[in-house]
Structure formats: structure tokens, C-alpha cells
Amino acid sequence: MKIGIIGTGFIIREALTAMSEVPAIELTAILARPHSLAKGEAFAQEFGIGKVYTDYDELLADPGIDTVYVGIINLMHYEYGKKALLAGKDVIMEKPFTTLTAHAQELADLARANGRFIFEAVTTRNCRIIDRMREELPRIGRIRMVQANFSQYSSRYDRYLKGDVAPAFDPEACGGALYDLNVYNFNMAVALLGEPEDVEYLPNIGFNGVDTSGIAVLRYPDFVGVLAAAKDSDSPSHFTIQGEKGWIEVPGKPNEAEQLRWCIGGKTEEYIPVPDKSRMVQEFRNFSRAAAERDTAFMERELGITLGVMRAIEKGRLGAGLHFPTDT
């Protein structure tokens, strides 16, 4: 997998660190906006990236790149992913996949039609913890409730309170707690339990109309779930599934998923895998393997989860009266 990195923002350093741990990945190029060229050049020097581009079309025309990693603001995911697929590249899209379900479906269909692969990079779906959860989940019996909380006081929140609005807090850039943090909870829920029948989102709204925190209520045929996320406050985080015979829980922030605990018949057990250098390593291992083997079954499973999440969070967002510029 010869990757062109799109972006120089907050997530890029962690993504590059993770990719550097996967021998099958070659960091071929990075795209920086002209005013961020120095950042792109610094990343290139630090991680041994051979080329730095400031023009996306030039990067896509590079025959030495077979995959594009889109790590830019939510608003631009669809446009950049579509151009890459049309240029004959595979795509790894940072979460959230897109801002609209219709756009996600279009990208999935375009990838299939052009024989390309497209994946969503979201750590709660591609980690050893969730693989083990799938194994242990049947043991807790009939599921009755799901509770999750991903709260993390944002490093940008103090700036936001002073009127300095970063994209993560800008509804015009498709930011907010639902698509930034709660999307991790949604991904774990849909990956393990399927798409909910209905979603209601109850947000706390900031001065510019963005959801700085909120609670999503998920309704399944036989149980309910409550998924909370906050960028304006902090608390212990977890993802817990309760069944008639026991419970299973990821303690801590679900995007890190470092530990798993479950209790059945009063006996508590735990699973703690040996950690990788970065929480994102496993997903890039999975993507590089699937692309090399042209494992369409893996891609279709992942796309099914992605589309289920997109439908669920969009239903919650629109029901709460939260609108993005991509809605029109």
C-alpha cells in the first residue's frame, strides 16, 4: 500500500506514527495547503515521506500512489474521497466517513463500480478488543441495555468560549460532539448490535449552534441504548452492554479500547492485549491486508457498518434540528 496523506492537521501525526508501524505501508507523499507547506515538509522529513504536494490533482496523478488517506475536516471528506476514487485510487477515510448518508452511499457505489477499495478509519471498529467482544458477547444472554460515555474536555474548548472557533466546533465545517466523539460509540454499537430502529439526539448547543455535548437514545427491537459524548466537560468514559446473564464493558475512552471486562454468573474476567505504539495501528494493518488481498468481503462488512452508522447519526442530527451546509 503506497499512501498519499491528505492533510497536516491534528490527526495526521498519530496516523503517520501508526502507519510507520505497518511494514506493508509505504508513506509516499503528503498534501499540504500552500500556507501549511512548512508543516507538510516537517512531516515529510520526520516520517521519511518522499514527496510533498500542494495541489491535490497533481498528487492524484502520481502513479506511485495507490491509496489516499483523507485526514481533513469533515466538510471536505466526500469531495476528496470522490476525486480519489475517480482517479483510480483506493481510499481510507478518517471518521466520520462523510456528513451525509447519501454521500456515503455514493462513495460506496463508486468504489464498487470502479473496482476500488474504500475504508473508514475508526478505531472502535478495527481493534483486538472488538474482536474479543464479538466472541464473548453471546455469553451475557439476552441484551437489555447499552450505556456508553465518551467525554473529553476539548483542547480547543477554551478558545471556543472566547469566540475562536476551530472546525471541530463549527457547524459550517460539520463539527460537533455527535460527529466527532459520539461517532465512536455509534460505531461500536452498530458493529456489535446492528443498526438501531430509531435514534433521538438530545444536544447541548453552544453559542454558534454547534452541539458541544449530547445524549443519543437508540431504540432496538428488544432493548434500548444511551450514548453520551461531551467536548465541553470530562468524566470517566466507558462502553457497556448489559444482558440477562451478565455484562461486558470497555472501560475508559472507547476510541482507545485498551481493556475489556465481562462478568457472567458473578465471575469477572478481563482481556488486556499487548498495546501497539498507536491505537490506530491495527486498523491500518487491517486495511493494508484487505487491499493487498482484494478482500471484498472485508470491505463490504465495513461498508455495511459505515452506512448503518451514517443513517443513525444523520437521523439523530436532523431530528435535533442540527443542520450542516451539505444538507442543502
Mean pLDDT of 236-263: 96
Residue 13 has pLDDT above 80, yes or no: yes
Over the range 145-168, which residues count as b (16 or more CB within 10 Å of their CB) and which as e? ebbbbbbbebebbeebeeeebbbb
Let me know whether 164 and 183 are in one domain.
Answer: yes
Let me know whether 231 and 313 are in one domain.
Answer: yes
Let me know whether 15 and 78 are in one domain.
Answer: yes
DSSP state letter for 137: G
Residue 3 has pLDDT above 80, yes or no: yes
Residue 189 has pLDDT above 80, yes or no: yes
| Structural domain includes residue 293 | no
The pLDDT value recorded for residue 83 is: 98
* Separation of alpha carbons 184 and 180, rounded Å: 8
The pLDDT value recorded for residue 8 is: 95
Let me know whether 172 and 271 are in one domain.
Answer: yes
Query: Contact, 22 vs 289, CB < 8 A?
Result: no
Q: Mean pLDDT for the chain?
A: 97
Pairing of strands 224-230, 67-70: unpaired
Sheet strands side by side (includes 90-94): 51-53, 26-31, 2-6, 67-70, 90-94, 118-121
* pLDDT tens profile 306-323: 999 999 999 999 999 999
Residue 300 has pLDDT above 80, yes or no: yes
| Structural domain includes residue 302 | no
Residue 328 has pLDDT above 90, yes or no: no
Examine the fold and report which residue of 121, 156, 187 is the final residue of a domain before the chain moves on.
121
| Structural domain includes residue 145 | yes
| Structural domain includes residue 48 | yes
Q: How many domains does the chain have?
A: 2
Query: Which grid cell is 6?
Result: 491528505
Examine the fold and report which residue of 121, 153, 176 is the final residue of a domain before the chain moves on.
121
| Structural domain includes residue 58 | yes
Examine the fold and report which residue of 121, 156, 186 is the final residue of a domain before the chain moves on.
121
| Structural domain includes residue 300 | no
* Separation of alpha carbons 45 and 53, rounded Å: 14
pLDDT band for position 280 (cuts 50, 70, 90): very high
Query: Contact, 65 vs 290, CB < 8 A?
Result: no
Query: Contact, 245 vs 139, CB < 8 A?
Result: yes
Residue 34, amino acid: P
* pLDDT tens profile 195-235: 999 999 999 999 999 999 999 999 999 999 999 999 999 99
* Separation of alpha carbons 145 and 213, rounded Å: 21
Residue 15 has pLDDT above 80, yes or no: yes
The pLDDT value recorded for residue 46 is: 97
| Structural domain includes residue 186 | yes
Let me know whether 163 and 113 are in one domain.
Answer: no
Element (H or E) spanning 261, and its range?
A: strand 260-264
Mean pLDDT of 79-95: 98
Let me know whether 262 and 148 are in one domain.
Answer: yes
Let me know whether 275 and 179 are in one domain.
Answer: yes
Let me know whether 58 and 141 are in one domain.
Answer: no
Domain at 95, CATH number: 3.40.50.720
The pLDDT value recorded for residue 248 is: 98
Let me know whether 113 and 178 are in one domain.
Answer: no
Element (H or E) spanning 84, and its range?
A: helix 77-86
pTM of the entire predicted model:
0.96
Let me know whether 165 and 79 are in one domain.
Answer: no
Mean pLDDT of 144-164: 97
Q: Which residue segment(s) compose the domain that 92 sits in? A: 2-121
Let me know whether 107 and 244 are in one domain.
Answer: no
| Structural domain includes residue 296 | no
Let me know whether 272 and 226 are in one domain.
Answer: yes
Nearest Cα to 95, choosing from 104, 86, 85, 87? 104
pLDDT over 90, % of the chain: 97
* Separation of alpha carbons 275 and 66, rounded Å: 29
